[in-house]
Amino acid sequence: MTAKRLLVMSGKGGTGKTTVMASLAALADEPILADCDVDAPDLHLLLDPEVRESHEYLGLQLATIDDLLCTKCGSCHQVCRYDAISEDIILDETSCEGCTACSIVCPEGAITMVDRVAGDVFVSSTRFGPMAHAKLRAGEEASGKLVMEVRSCSDRLAWEHGSEHILIDGPPGIGCPAISALSGVDAVLVVAEPTLSGRQGMSRAVELAHHFDVPAMAVVNRAELNPEEATVIEEWCRDQGVEVFDRLPYDTAATDAMMARRTVVEHDDGPLAQGLRRLWVQIQDVLDVRYD
Ligand code: SF4
Ligand code: SF4
């Protein structure tokens, strides 16, 4: 059995994506979880993972200059497109992109490329199932590659546990990390808020999914705060062939649950919790039947 992979995206921050994702994790039957927001992860605040294994993630390589061998010829300074080596041959590590050009042109063999630890990958247990997640170290880039590590970790966990669903909390935006998170998923759920910027974030996320031939589904969160905008978003989605689910209501339970570090569906059985339960049933109908 191959697990179905569902990516939860928003296209912009602040739509309540993580609130939705955490409750889906609570509602699914023994899912595998993946937090692909490696720059500023926050799913762990609600799921309280206990780390079982971890390994370092090696990002871009870093140039190192051996001052004893260097004759200050200046070739490395001239070839570096990232201005990482000054005229007096001082390396700025934060600017080095690991392209290796300087090590190739150096006539003295004074430059060596070394691995640089850019982050950490974790496999943790949560009260809902195993979770793959990661943390990029301060000042490091290449988070798309780290997201791929999290994804392959979650695939391995699904295979080991025979899980039916992998639920993936996507990174914000539509850049390299989002594209990595999108790779090979069965469907995307876009969580939108009923504002103009919410509509723009939604359309960016849907267009990204469609660009990679991934079916998109959508739900408007806190819909009654602006029902007219919610309607505009839903109509746009339907025009794009996006499956639109029942709206989620504004409910202070979202904040109360966050403060209590619990998911909404664990916190109470109010309007939002009921909406989330309905949402998971609707998602399963589409994911397990239509995309089977
Ligand atoms: S290319 Fe090599 S020898 Fe020349 S300045 Fe750079 S490190 Fe020194
Ligand atoms: S590896 Fe590339 S980016 Fe880094 S210092 Fe050398 S030339 Fe510049």
CATH code for the domain in which residue 94 is found: 3.30.70.20
Q: What confidence tens digit (pLDDT) does each residue in 36-80 have?
A: 988 888 888 899 999 999 999 988 899 999 999 999 999 999 999
Residue nearest to atom 8 of ligand 2 (CA): 80
Given this model, what pLDDT does residue 142 score?
A: 60
Domain shared by 153 and 230, yes or no: yes
Interval between CA 37 and ligand 2 midpoint (Å): 28
DSSP 6: E
User: What residues form DSSP beta bridges with 65?
Assistant: 111
Domain boundary among 114, 144, 159: 114
Given this model, what pLDDT does residue 189 score?
A: 97
User: What is the Cα–Cα distance from 15 to 2, expressed in whole angstroms?
Assistant: 30
User: What is the Cα–Cα distance from 265 to 121, expressed in whole angstroms?
Assistant: 28
Domain shared by 83 and 182, yes or no: no
Residue 63 CB less than 6 A away from ligand 1: no
DSSP 286: I
Greatest alpha-carbon pair distance for the chain in Å reads 72
Residue nearest to atom 6 of ligand 1 (CA): 76
User: What is the Cα–Cα distance from 253 to 202, expressed in whole angstroms?
Assistant: 24
In this structure, are strands 187-192 and 4-9 parallel, antiparallel, or unpaired? parallel
Residue 148 CB less than 6 A away from ligand 2: no
Domain shared by 186 and 51, yes or no: yes
User: What is the Cα–Cα distance from 35 to 98, expressed in whole angstroms?
Assistant: 27
Q: Would you say how long the chain is, in residues?
A: 292
Interval between CA 137 and ligand 2 midpoint (Å): 20
Q: What share of the chain is helix, strand, coil (3-state, %, to 5)?
A: 40, 20, 40
Domain shared by 227 and 148, yes or no: yes
Domain shared by 93 and 232, yes or no: no
Residue 105 CB less than 6 A away from ligand 2: no
Domain shared by 240 and 163, yes or no: yes
Residue 166 CB less than 6 A away from ligand 2: no
Residue nearest to atom 1 of ligand 1 (CA): 106
Domain shared by 99 and 166, yes or no: no
Given this model, what pLDDT does residue 137 score?
A: 83
Domain shared by 49 and 84, yes or no: no
Given this model, what pLDDT does residue 291 score?
A: 63
User: How many domains does one find in the chain?
Assistant: 2
Mutate to test the pocket of ligand 1, among 90, 111, 112 (most ligand atoms within 8 A of CB): 111
Residue nearest to atom 8 of ligand 1 (CA): 70
Residue-number span of the structural domain to which 222 is assigned: 4-56+121-290
Write the CATH number for 178: 3.40.50.300
Interval between CA 89 and ligand 2 midpoint (Å): 12
User: What is the Cα–Cα distance from 134 to 106, expressed in whole angstroms?
Assistant: 36
- Per residue, what are the HEC states of 14-60? CCCHHHHHHHHHHHCCCCEEEECCCCCCCHHHHHCCEEEEEEEEECC
Residue 108 CB less than 6 A away from ligand 2: no
Domain shared by 47 and 64, yes or no: no
Mean pLDDT by 10 residues, the chain (292 residues): 89 87 96 91 89 91 96 97 96 91 97 92 96 86 84 95 94 86 94 93 94 95 94 95 95 93 95 97 86 62
In this structure, the number of other CB atoms found within 10 A of the CB of residue 92 comes to: 12
Domain shared by 196 and 82, yes or no: no
Domain shared by 86 and 229, yes or no: no
Interval between CA 67 and ligand 2 midpoint (Å): 16
User: What residues form DSSP beta bridges with 130?
Assistant: 125
Given this model, what pLDDT does residue 262 score?
A: 94
Give CA 156 to chain center in angstroms.
18
Interval between CA 100 and ligand 1 midpoint (Å): 13
Interval between CA 1 and ligand 1 midpoint (Å): 56
Radius of gyration from C-alpha coordinates of the chain: 22
Domain shared by 154 and 95, yes or no: no
Helix axes 227-239, 196-211, angle to 10 degrees: 20
Mutate to test the pocket of ligand 2, among 78, 89, 99 (most ligand atoms within 8 A of CB): 99
Residue 71 CB less than 6 A away from ligand 2: no
Residue 91 CB less than 6 A away from ligand 1: no
